[in-house]
Every structure is written in C-alpha cells, then in structure tokens.
Amino acid sequence: MNDGAMIDGSDRRRRSLTDWALAKGLKDLIKHGRLDVITAAGNRLRFGDGSGAAVEIRFTDAAAQWGFMIDPELRLGEIFTDSRLLVERGTIYDFLMLVLSNIQSSPQQQQNVLTRLAAQLRFATRRQRQHNTSRRAQRNVARHYDLGDQLYALFLDDDWQYSCAYFETPELTLEQAQAAKKRHIAAKLLVDPGHAVLDIGCGWGGLALYLAESAGAASVTGVTLSEEQLARARHRADQRGLADRVRFQLQDYRKIEGQFDRIVSVGMFEHVGLSFYDSYFENCQRLLKPDGVMLLHTIGCSGTPSQANPWLDRYIFPGGYLPTLSEMMPAIERAGLVLSDLEVWRLHYAQTLRIWRERFMARRDEAARLYDERFCRMWEFYLAFCEAAFRCEDVVVFQLQLARRNDSVPLSRDYIDQRKAQLRQREARLTPAS
C-alpha cells in the first residue's frame, strides 16, 4: 500500500488529527520499502510499496509523535533515546536508512512549514553555535572525548583510531583498514627522517606514534584538548620507548609555537567552527616551514553549505560543523596556503561506522553497566544515524594536502604508492613474527 491507509476499520473510525498529519507527511515521503507505524492512539498505518523487509515503529505518546512531525532532525533522536519511539521490527538503523534513502530518491520533497522554519533559523544562527573559543572548544571536547576510555575500548580498533578507516579492498578488517589510513596519510605527508611533525588533534596518539616508528620522523608533537586522550597517549609513548621523540600536550591549536616540516590533522577540523577558519589556517601557515607540507583530513559535505544536525550538536558533538570546500577554500587562500592535492573518500566512513556500530551493539550490556540504558540508546542512534548519513546524504571525507609553495610535493602522485610500499616494509620489520 502506498496511501498511508489505516489497516483496521476500527482504526479508521478512531483516526485523530495527529494521525492524519503523520499519515499525510509519511505518505509523501515513503515511496519505496515498507514502513508500518503504530501511532500513539493505537492506530496502524502502512507506507511504501511493500518492497524489502518491513520496518515497524511505535510512538508511545502523542507529544513524541508531534515532535517527530514538527522537528524530526532534533526530536527523532530524543524520542528514540527516551524510549518514546520504539522499533518493533528491524532496528533504528533500518528505520533511518529507509527514511534517508527515500529522501535521497525524492530530494524535491517539501518539508512542512514548521520544519522548514526550524532549519532556516538554525542556518541563520549556526556561527553563534560554533563560536569555539579556546575555553569553549575544550568544554566541547570534554563532553565527548572524556567519557571514559572504557567506552571507546568497546568498539575501536587496537590502535584507538577514532576516525575514518581506509578500505583499500573490501575485505579488510577494521584493524587493517585503520593501518591503511595511517600509511596513506604518512605517504601523502612525505615524512622523512629528520622531520619535525605536528599532529593537531592527536586523539589517543596512534598516528603520532606511527609517524615516528614507521615513517621515521625525528620528532612528533601531538596536541589535544582531551585530558583522557592525553593521559593514554603519553602512556603509550612511554610503553613503546618513544617519549623522547613523541611528545603530547594539552594545547589549543591557536597557542602552539615553533615551526614544523609537516603538519597533520585528522578528525579535528570539524570542531573548529566557521568563525575560526581564518584563524586555523593562518596558524597552520605560521607553524609550517616554507617548504613544508600539511595534510588535513576532515569530514565534510560535498553539497552546499548547511547547518549542523541539531541532535548531534546538542548531544554528541557540541559546536561541531561539517564544512564544504567552498567554505574552506577562501580561508586557505587568504592564509597563503596552496592546495596541492585533494582526495574525497565517499563510503569509507560508512563502512567504518558499520563496524563500530556492530561492535558496540555486541558489547551493549557492558556499555549499559558503564553508563545506563538511555546512554546506550543515544549512542546506538548516533552510530546508526552517522552511518546512514554517509550512505544516503552528501557527507564525505576530504583529504586536503596543503603547502606554502607549489613545488613542495612531486609533480605526479606516483610517490604515494611508492612511499606506501616502503612503509609496509618498515611495518613488517617492526611487527614481531608470530
């Protein structure tokens, strides 16, 4: 059925204004697949052409149902987290994929007036929400990255890489794909022995340690605003006998001093905020030696500028924003940096998130013991929504290679594969034989 009709005659007689509004909106949206909805009033609605596995959701109260209709970008995550929207068949990921794939196939589909007004207001005020001063940036980072290493140990790879893996071939494990990501970045950075490297947003230190061990950097300085990441990164450097070459600091990018042959930043630029793009790239230009090379790896949007998803902004990544190239490039140009290479990773993060989500769900009971059921539902929604967005929306990963001069990197990209082959050889020498 594609008309959102009531299944039962008794339901038809009890149809409420709330259900009528919901039926109208979902009838216009869900054209393929099958979505069954049990409304707060107990009525059953069916949408789509019946293809594929059925997804069934249930609203527990009328306010949740209205919230979903009026402001789904914010309220859907909230009512799922609070168990006011229940998925009776399938998973929340299945539901999100069904909705987003229908939106993808019908981009001209109109939002209702209130939803459109909410989106316009968020777009108009996005700079205020992303005004990430040094103090505010540290608060925002703590809200996500200082939740406890026990949480991240549930689903990350053994090197604690919390960014997009690189699936050179489809059959790679998460560990192999994260190693491939580090290798690819090191090759594009052209790291040589004797180089001083700066890692802005170093996370738990895995990339910085790799650049010292496998790429042969003389020194690596990693900076983070997360106290928990800093502690683990320093501990890992000590354990591997690299504390003299790899130093980690609790420091904002605006306060770094010195000059570096290479600068890398992975998964940090999303937290800078539109108002500080000029400051970010000016500082990178200041810190980069005249013949230096920088690699910026960031989630972004391949479409036109928009606003941050309000649910992610409120509950997961406060102050976060996914840039478009048109928003980054003017600041790069004003800073006097040259774009020497651009690579777009499209579905690699969707695959990464799928594995994270599966690992998290497999150890969900442990997460519930660490936190509670509500937290688990929130993180299930976060991982599911992000994966669905990478599959259905204009969300990608950009890798921008930047320099101060246009002769800082080779003329052809052959050097990347050549250096990756060298790095594989070094990795093999470092890995004990089993």
Instruction: Evaluate if residue 125 carries a pLDDT over 90.
Output: no
Tell me the CB-side half-sphere exposure of residue 237, using CA atoms within 13 A: 27
Rounded Cα gap, residues 87 and 35, in angstroms: 11
Reported as a pLDDT band with limits 50, 70 and 90, residue 123 is low
190-212 per-position pLDDT tens digit: 999 999 999 999 999 999 999 99
As a whole-number percent, the residues of the chain with pLDDT over 90 amount to 82
Token pair in block for residue 286 = 């200041």
Instruction: Evaluate if residue 7 carries a pLDDT over 70.
Output: no
Radius of gyration of the chain (CA): 24
What pLDDT is attached to residue 107?
59
Residue 113 dihedral angles phi and psi, to the nearest 5°:
-60, -45
Asked if 254 contacts 263 with a C-beta cutoff of 8 angstroms, the reply is no
Mean pLDDT score, 86-114: 84
What pLDDT is attached to residue 134?
82
317-326 per-position pLDDT tens digit: 999 999 999 9
376 among known catalytic residues: no
Q: What does the mean pLDDT of the chain come to?
A: 91
What pLDDT is attached to residue 434?
42
**Locus of tokens 């998964």:** 267
**Locus of tokens 């090379």:** 293
Rounded Cα gap, residues 86 and 404, in angstroms: 53
Catalytic residue among 164, 202, 301, 386: 386
Amino acid at 175: E
Residue 426 dihedral angles phi and psi, to the nearest 5°:
-65, -40
What is the secondary structure of 287-331 as a DSSP string?
HEEEEEEEEEEEEEESSS-----HHHHHHTSTT----BHHHHHHH
Rounded Cα gap, residues 147 and 316, in angstroms: 11
What pLDDT is attached to residue 116?
61
Asked if 205 contacts 248 with a C-beta cutoff of 8 angstroms, the reply is yes
Asked if 296 contacts 400 with a C-beta cutoff of 8 angstroms, the reply is yes
Strand-pair partners of 400: 296, 342
Residue 231 CB neighbour total at 10 angstroms: 14
Reported as a pLDDT band with limits 50, 70 and 90, residue 135 is confident
Lowest mean pLDDT among 53-62, 131-140, 350-359, 366-375: 131-140
Instruction: Evaluate if residue 4 carries a pLDDT over 70.
Output: no
Closest CA to 358 of 93, 168, 77: 93
Reported as a pLDDT band with limits 50, 70 and 90, residue 18 is confident
As a whole-number percent, the residues of the chain with pLDDT over 70 amount to 90
Rounded Cα gap, residues 400 and 367, in angstroms: 36
Instruction: Evaluate if residue 365 carries a pLDDT over 70.
Output: yes
Asked if 202 contacts 222 with a C-beta cutoff of 8 angstroms, the reply is yes
SS3 10: helix
Assign domain 134-430 to its CATH superfamily.
Vaccinia Virus protein VP39 (3.40.50.150)
244-299 per-position pLDDT tens digit: 999 999 999 999 999 999 999 999 999 999 999 999 999 999 999 999 999 999 99
- Residue ranges of domains in the chain: 9-124, 134-430
Instruction: Evaluate if residue 131 carries a pLDDT over 80.
Output: no
SS3 29: helix
Rounded Cα gap, residues 176 and 165, in angstroms: 9
Instruction: Evaluate if residue 152 carries a pLDDT over 80.
Output: yes
Rounded Cα gap, residues 119 and 127, in angstroms: 14
Strand-pair partners of 263: 198, 294
Asked if 252 contacts 200 with a C-beta cutoff of 8 angstroms, the reply is no
Instruction: Evaluate if residue 420 carries a pLDDT over 80.
Output: yes
Mean pLDDT score, 92-110: 85
SS3 126: helix
Reported as a pLDDT band with limits 50, 70 and 90, residue 128 is low
Reported as a pLDDT band with limits 50, 70 and 90, residue 6 is very low
287-340 per-position pLDDT tens digit: 999 999 999 999 999 999 988 899 999 999 999 999 999 999 999 999 999 999
**Locus of tokens 């316009």:** 120
Tell me the CB-side half-sphere exposure of residue 39, using CA atoms within 13 A: 26
Rounded Cα gap, residues 393 and 377, in angstroms: 23
Reported as a pLDDT band with limits 50, 70 and 90, residue 114 is low
Instruction: Evaluate if residue 122 carries a pLDDT over 70.
Output: no
What pLDDT is attached to residue 393?
94
